[in-house]
Structure 1
Amino acid sequence: MRCSSRALRRLAGGALSLLLTAGVLPGLARPAAGDQTLPADDGARIKAETWIDSRTVDLTVTTPAIGDDEMIRVIVPPGWSPTASRTWPVVYAYQGGNDDYLSWVRGSQISDLAAQWGVLVVMPSGGKSGGFSDWWNYGKGGTPKWETFHTTEVLQLLERNYHAGTRRAALGVSSGGQGAIAYAARHRGMFTYAASFSGLLHISSAPIQWTLMLQGVTFNSDPFAVWGVPGFDDANWKAHDPYELADKLRGTELYISSGTTGLPGPLDDPSKTPPDSNLYGATGELIVGSTAKDFVARLQRLGIPATTHLYGDGWHNWNYWRRELATEWPLMMKALGAEKV
């Protein structure tokens, strides 16, 4: 059967129109006007979407909580469609400090794992030193409000526009691990499951407070802006501390892992990394490991079950977090009721 050139042009135009409507043309940055997507309650909106491939999209979000545009990487499950009549369970994966919203994609196998399951994976920006909190700002509040961004704006935008469901998991590395556990405790019932890989899980202990103060100075930021001045604003520190909030995690499935010694482990090669990276990896894991031990001991005293892997030697890096993700992922999928595809 032969087609005229006019028919071919009409067919090609129709196919392009379908792709544009579906929003799955790889590499296309498509403005998301207010009448095309639903905003969050506070006016946060999807400003643009860029489809990287048929299942991966970057969202540019205008967010009052942060006061600027922020990015979200979303991996949609096989079978997802913008016109679907169903929802999917969601993994909200949070970055570590001094990183960005693509850290999970660069550092781990999360894209390959997501391709095998009927689950959305949502990776929002967390800022270079966001603290996974609405900043204290000496009691004045105001921006940035990272907790509001993550637990209100991002959830509402994904649920209203991308078929994200209400069975949710929070997953984080390093400071993102602290955020995942704190969010699950501060918003009871929001997350069915929460996991921390090398997270800082006892932030209100005095040694950790002053370590974070030093870190703030190192990153050239105000060390008192996030949670306040140690000794004076301890109530606010405790209000965001997974250790202090542990009793609110009853009923949430938990996975906690960390190195504890600061010594190189089987996945480290000190000869192939710069000395400053070795020092950061060693001291960082020693510090977070001490808080993980505190947190796990508190869970045990409270009788709250958790899957834990305090693996001793090993530095603060993706070599270990990839390993932990491989172990943790099936547990998370089971908790979410996700289906393998």
Structure 2
Amino acid sequence: MKRTLVRLGVLLLSALAVTAVLLALLTPFTADDTGGYGATATEIPDFRVNRLGERDHELTVDSAALGRDGMVRVLLPAGWKPGSGPWPVLYLLNGCCQAEYDSWITDGEAARLTAGYRALVVVPEGGAVGFYSDWRDGPGWETFHLIEIRQILESEYGAGERRAVAGLSMGGFGAMSYAARHPGMFQAAASFSGVLDTRDGETVSRLLERHGESPAKLWGAPRDPAWAAHNPADLTGSLRGVRLFVSSGDGSPGPLDVPAAARDDGEATLFRQTRTFTERALANGVEVTADLYGPGTHTWPYWRRGLERALPMLMGSIGAAP
């Protein structure tokens, strides 16, 4: 009889343990969490500020998630001062393979385009091919952006709970993946020529391998469930309540290209992915503004225009209209 009771106790504990694991896997990482997906950050990271201008702060963050210093640019709104707030926040995420982490400012004219809005504009480092994720074997970009940087913004810059996120190419992936994977954290998201269906072709794997990285270190083997768990096209049902803007060209030379521009097959692939994402989002009852503008390549003139077109919606969604 005692042995039977012991066995029943072991089985009950095992069942409870399995249930706990399943609940942990099914529970979303929300805006109120201080950890998740392996994150253990509970204290505000140390950081240094380099004041590049009246409204332009460059932060060097001692990031436990990255295992090294991480960089962030913060553009301050008119009227900001220490202790003020709460301020809405717009994150601008960069694409892959760019030499400068802050290309939204150096090439995208983000300072000029956002100058009239009363919001913090945050441009974080994202790695050459970081793909806005906590790698299985590598840096924790998701934790760096959504926990460590968020803690600094809230404690030192008066950031509030109203947030929007936008990005180009790899950053478009990051914007939609972050908004879907963290319900309630973002009120709006935008993608410009974004990687919005990571399981369409081998776009992600080729970019990683081109930079000497193994795709398995990111989300595991291509059929691993983690690929779908990060893929915007597979997560559209989680974007209900988030206002979306997506744009892409079809890869043929367009009105903003130089006269000698050639066809851009990469942009054509992203056009197809953006269309797939949009169709799935609309089918799931998500509010999407789609600017599938036809001729246009994978270049800055189109991304600047995309941001300019999306800004009224992005800023309006977080209460930061001019």
Q: TM-score range by the shorter chain?
A: 0.7 to 0.9
- CA deviations on 1:303-338 (whole Å, 9 max, x unpaired) are 222111011110001110111111111111211111
Q: Take 1:211 and 1:48, find their aligned partners in 2: how far apart are those partners? A: 36
**Equivalent in 252, 269, 273 of residue 242 of structure 2:** 252
> In the TM superposition, what is the alpha-carbon distance from 1:216 to its structure 2 partner?
1.9
The 5 A counterparts of 1:215-226 are 215-226=207-218
**Equivalent in 286, 292, 306 of residue 324 of structure 1:** 306
Q: Take 1:225 and 1:268, find their aligned partners in 2: how far apart are those partners? A: 36
CA contact (8 A) 1:43 1:64 kept: no
Pair 305,49 (structure 1): closer, same or farther in 2 beyond 3 Å: same
> In the TM superposition, what is the alpha-carbon distance from 1:59 to its structure 2 partner?
0.3
Q: Take 1:255 and 1:45, find their aligned partners in 2: how far apart are those partners? A: 32
Q: Which residue of 2 aligns with 1:287?
A: 269
**Equivalent in 139, 143, 149 of residue 154 of structure 1:** 149
Task: Indicate the SS of the match to 1:105.
Answer: helix
Task: Indicate the SS of the match to 2:66.
Answer: coil
> In the TM superposition, what is the alpha-carbon distance from 1:200 to its structure 2 partner?
0.7
- CA deviations on 1:35-94 (whole Å, 9 max, x unpaired) are xxxxx944452421000111110000011111110100000111101132x211110111
The 5 A counterparts of 1:65-144 are 65-84=65-84, 86-99=85-98, 100-137=100-137, 143-144=138-139
CA contact (8 A) 1:254 1:307 kept: yes
Letter of the 1:293 counterpart? R
CA contact (8 A) 2:59 2:73 kept: yes
- CA deviations on 1:112-142 (whole Å, 9 max, x unpaired) are 13221111101110001101111123xxxxx
CA contact (8 A) 1:95 1:103 kept: yes
Q: Take 2:321 and 2:46, find their aligned partners in 1: how far apart are those partners? A: 28
CA contact (8 A) 1:46 1:59 kept: no
Structure 1 residues without counterparts, runs of 5 or longer: 1-39, 138-142
Q: Which residue of 2 aligns with 1:45?
A: 45
CA contact (8 A) 1:118 1:338 kept: yes
- CA deviations on 1:161-214 (whole Å, 9 max, x unpaired) are 111111000111110010000000000000011010111111123x2xx23222
CA contact (8 A) 2:83 2:157 kept: no
- TM (norm. structure 2) is 0.84
Task: Indicate the SS of the match to 2:247.
Answer: strand
Task: Indicate the SS of the match to 2:317.
Answer: helix
Structure 2 residues without counterparts, runs of 5 or longer: 1-39
Letter of the 2:194 counterpart? G
Q: Percent identity, please.
A: 41
Task: Indicate the SS of the match to 2:234.
Answer: coil
CA contact (8 A) 2:44 2:151 kept: no
Give the aligned CA root-mean-square deviation in angstroms: 1.6
